[in-house]
Structure 1
Amino acid sequence: MAGNPRNGRPYRRLCAWLRAQQLPCWLCGHNINYQLHARHPLSFTLDHERPLSRGGDLLDPANARAAHRRCNSAKGNRTPRAQPQRASRRW
């Protein structure tokens, strides 16, 4: 494959499929404004649950998640840890 694979038709198709679902950010849980300019910190980006640098697949829909640009950048190539569950009441 020549050039950047993220500029190819399969990657753009995966982004469009994910964008059409209008999902909230999988990292912070807040809604994403899908109308924002691509460089805005709260705009949509395609994030990979398993980072590409750690063996994740670029075009696998099961690995693709909707995220804010800021959340995706903050995560970097780390895999998010499960957040500890809080008790509903103080004991």
Structure 2
Amino acid sequence: MAGNPRNGRPYRTLCVQQRALGLPCWLCGRDIAYEITGPDAGRHPLAFTLDHYLPLSRGGDLLDPANARSAHRRCNSARGNRLTTAQPQASRRW
């Protein structure tokens, strides 16, 4: 039986590469607290998590760098598996 692919070296390498880019959250546009690591990162809502543009449950590739996005844990969880295009909200309707 195969193990969880998120525990494998290729996935961890992709996470390290994405984290090194230091990008803001692709969903809300705010800075991510990249300094939060270790056990605290799994619980902190502003910590980095690897999100996928095309959710895995909808056919997205777990290890495709073109599908990888930096996100807050809170934003990633709130999005779930919905297809989303991150677009800044206008301050008012024009």
Fold match (TM-score > 0.5): yes
- Tell me the amino acid that sits aligned with residue 55 of structure 1: G
- Matches of 2:88 and 2:50, distance apart in 1: 25
Counting matched residue pairs gives 90
Kindly report structure 1 stretches of 4+ aligned residues shifted beyond 6 Å: none
Instruction: Name the % identity.
Output: 73
Tell me the equivalent position of 1:74: 78
Shift in alpha-carbon separation, 1:89–1:17, aligned structure 2, 3 A: same
Q: Counterparts in 2 of 1:20-39, with a 5 A limit?
A: 20-36=20-36, 37-38=40-41, 39=43
| Cα-Cα RMSD | 2.3
Match for residue 58 of structure 1?
Answer: 62
Unaligned segments of structure 1, at least 5 residues: none
Give the TM-score of the pair, scaled to structure 2: 0.85
**Greater share of residues in helix:** 2
| Structure 2 unaligned spans of 5+ | none
| Higher RCO structure, 1 or 2 (CA under 8 Å, sep 6+) | 2
Could you say which structure has the larger radius of gyration? 1
